Amino acid sequence: MKTTKRIFLLLLIILPTTFYSCEDDNGISEETIRINKFVWDNMNDLYFWNEQIPGHLNYKKEPDTKKFFDKLIYDQVDQWSFITDDYDGLVNYFAGISKSMGHSLRLFKVSENSDDVVGFIEYVEPNSPADRASLYRGQMFYKINGQKLTTENVSDLLSKDSYSMTFGSLNGNGSINELSPAVKLNAVELQSNPILLHKVIEHGGVKVGYLVYTSFVEKYNDELTSVFADFKSQGVDHLVLDLRYNSGGSVTSAILLSSLIAPASKAGDVLLRTTYNDILTQYFDTKEADNPDRYIDRITPQEHNLNLNKVVVLSTFKTASASEMIIYGLDPHMNVYHIGEQTRGKYYGSNTFSDPNKSHNWAIQPIIMRAENKTNSINYTEGLIPDQKRTDFINASTIYELGDPKEDFLAQALLHLTGQLPVGASLKSATPKSYQAINNESSFSNPLHYDMQYDIKK
């Protein structure tokens, strides 16, 4: 969530944010102690699991702020809270700006008992280094900087800002033919538009709107609304929402998207309920006593609402947080048919907290709330289970570009909606079947990859 004046106001009300001067203690610098205090105060008052913070810790005796923050985390549940010393970079990330090659990658072990890894390109962002290098969805790579990928080196190799990728093709026996030459890529500061693709597909006598949405970024809310205006003007009968590569972002954008999809009669109904720790709950109960919606977000009236009674959502393990909110938030209100992989299982939201006095560039992004839908029908111990299971790439005999009706997941969605399989589509398992999906994040991923940014109410 973007840090706003509202959040700064909340901090000033709740927390003593003015730093004091102190002498070095135990050889720890005065600056480190000040930053540690900023972390300690915020986490104790705002962190969702603040009661689990070890009481014996002393911020004056912690020489490493990042390691100190890690000690405060309730790691039995919390995989998502983090700290950064680059607040400005965090703000850019929320605006869709980050240093990137412009490709999204999916990794597999070649077999259950092997440490060898191959990767596939999921999509390429327009006007990115990957796009200028003519990379495309479905390409398989198995070397970075001339080194074969393994479970041991993949994180290090893919975390670099510059590298060469060696691509290959599969033989019938599972061996790889190297394709030359290798492709050199250099990361750049990239402004990513999360609306990767939108189109209307005429199939089986109906019109199907198709949207590939890769992140919930408020900056693009107007453009998102325009997409639905186009869908509505073309008279779409159905919607396929492709969230396979969307791991979260702004809840404000998620509420907008939900409101554009849900039946028009549901405007004003409950989409999301939120819970906080006791300190924040007491604060909201006092300051917002006259606001019956202080723990509720509702479906909002939208001029370009599609008034659908059914939506098909596509997912992978990367589908998380605000993306999952679309699925479970809409589920009590309409038929949500879910195709793909089990989602990540993150039902918690975070917020950005930095020093309002700008005395340092550190910021924390702690989990501050838990989300539930109208009927509280969420299993918090697992991700959302699809109605029809498919695994990206493994289940596709040929990998087509996103938006091609023959593309495996989209073909499944069109078959479900119309009863007709697109011409040329073949829903077969890929070769080799022994590939094992790597469904965990490595160090080359941005820590915000599974974020749900929730704006604190006034």
Query: What pLDDT, in 10s, does the model give residues 95-127?
Result: 778 889 999 999 988 888 889 999 999 999 999
Query: Alpha carbon of 42 to those of 14, 129, 368: distances in Å?
Result: 9, 39, 11
Q: Is the pLDDT of residue 223 over 60?
A: yes
Cα dihedral 292, 294, 295, 299 sign:
positive
Mean pLDDT of 37-61: 96
pLDDT for 1: 34
Residues 304, 222: contact at Cβ < 8 Å?
no
CA separation, residue 251 to residues 206, 311, 356, 371 (Å) = 31, 19, 23, 11
64-99 pLDDT tens trace: 999 999 999 999 999 899 999 988 888 887 777 888
DSSP 3-state assignment of 40? helix
Say which DSSP state 77 is in. Answer: T
Residue 25: pLDDT over 90: no
Within 13 A of 359's CA, how many CA atoms are on the CB side? 14
| Cα–Cα distance measured from residue 450 to residue 348, given in angstroms and rounded to the nearest whole number | 10
> Which alpha helices (H) appear in 192-303, and where do they start and end?
221-233, 251-261, 278-287
Alpha-carbon span 413 to 416, nearest angstrom:
5
In the structure encoding, which two tokens stand for residue 365, read together? 């992004």
Number of other CB atoms surrounding residue 319 within 10 Å: 32
Pairing type for strands 388-389 and 335-340 reads parallel
Mean pLDDT computed over every residue of the chain: 88
Q: How many helices (H) and strands (E) does the chain have?
A: 11, 24
User: In the structure encoding, which two tokens stand for residue 86, read together?
Assistant: 């680059």
- Cβ-Cβ contacts under 8 Å for 132 (sequence gap 6 or more): none
Compute CA distances 44 → 69, 280, 338, 347, 357, whole Å.
Answer: 11, 11, 38, 21, 20
> What's the pLDDT at 20?
41
For 37, 46, 261, 341, 365, the CA distances from 372, given in Å and listed in that order, are 32, 19, 19, 21, 20
**Span 263-294, pLDDT tens digits:** 999 999 999 999 999 999 999 999 999 999 99
Contact 423, 414 (CB under 8 A): no
Residue 441 CA to residue 449 CA, distance in Å, equals: 9
Give the pLDDT confidence score for residue 93 in this predicted structure: 76
Residue 167's pLDDT is 96
Please give the radius of gyration of the chain, using alpha carbons only, rounded to the nearest integer: 23
**CA angle in degrees (0–180, nearest 5) for 168-174-177:** 30
Distance of CA 120 to the CA centre of its chain: 19
**Domains of the chain (ranges, CATH numbers):** 5-94 (no CATH), 101-191 (2.30.42.10), 195-353+368-430 (3.90.226.10)
Q: Give residue 429's pLDDT.
A: 60
Q: What percent of the chain has pLDDT over 90?
A: 75
CA distance 231 to 207: 9
Q: Is the pLDDT of residue 421 over 70?
A: yes
Task: Give the Cα-Cα-Cα angle 151, 156, 161 (nearest 5 degrees).
Answer: 140
Give percent above pLDDT 70 in the chain. Answer: 88
Q: Which of 422-431, 433-442, 445-454 tops mean pLDDT?
A: 422-431
Cβ atoms of residues 73 and 67 within 8 Å:
no
Q: Angle, nearest 10°, between helix axes 221-233 and 251-261?
A: 10
CB within 8 Å of 182: residues ≥ 6 apart: 143, 146, 164, 165, 166, 167
Q: What is 349-394 written as a DSSP string?
A: EE--EE-TT-S---EEE-EEEEEE-TT----TTSPPPPSEE--TTT
pLDDT over threshold 60, residue 430? no
8 has a pLDDT exceeding 50: no
Confidence of residue 185 (pLDDT cuts 50, 70, 90): very high
Alpha-carbon dihedral of residues 378, 383, 386, 392, nearest 10 degrees?
160
**Is residue 37 within a helix (H) or strand (E), and if so which, with residue range?**
helix 30-46
DSSP character string of 289-336: TT-TTTTEEEPPP-TT----SEEEEEE-TT--THHHHHHHHHTTTSEE
- What pLDDT was estimated at residue 447? 43
* Residue 7 pLDDT > 80: no
> Given pLDDT bands bounded at 50, 70 and 90, which one contains residue 448?
very low
What is the three-class DSSP state of 98?
A: strand
